[in-house]
Amino acid sequence: MATKDKDMVAFYDIKPAAETHILIIPVAHIESVKTVRPSDHDLILRMKAKALNLLKEHGHQPENCRLGFHVPPFNTVDHLHLHVLGGEFKTALGSAKYENGKKWYMDLSQLLSNLEQKMRP
């Protein structure tokens, strides 16, 4: 396990798609990006901070990494988990599976933007 606190757990993916592939999972159950609520915004920000720290610990520059979520029905587990990917991808398919802008994958910044729009009066 990479790290754990009261709100989230981070561990290495058992089938890594990239040199570094960590999953960050909230302790409280959130089914997917489709069920994240505005009240989860702070948790998602803390998950982002944890991801950036872990990437730095593994020697990666965050601007060259991918942080995101699979979108139902393309997710394999019905519990929100942030993919933290750094370094070279192992295969072209692995890279495509985590490609920003595809219908099956949502970048962390997009999720935060969506939540912030919902929070506006």
Is-contact 7 26, C-beta < 8 A? yes
Q: If DSSP codes are grouped into helix, strand and coil, which group holds residue 10?
A: strand
User: CA neighbours within 13 Å on the CB side: how many for 52?
Assistant: 10
Annotated active-site residue 21? The verdict is: no
Which residue of the set 21, 60, 70, 81 is catalytic? 81
The owner of tokens 């520059």 is 61
Compute the chain's Rg from CA coordinates.
14
Can you read off the two tokens belonging to residue 111?
A: 């999720």
Q: Point out the residues that are catalytic.
A: 81
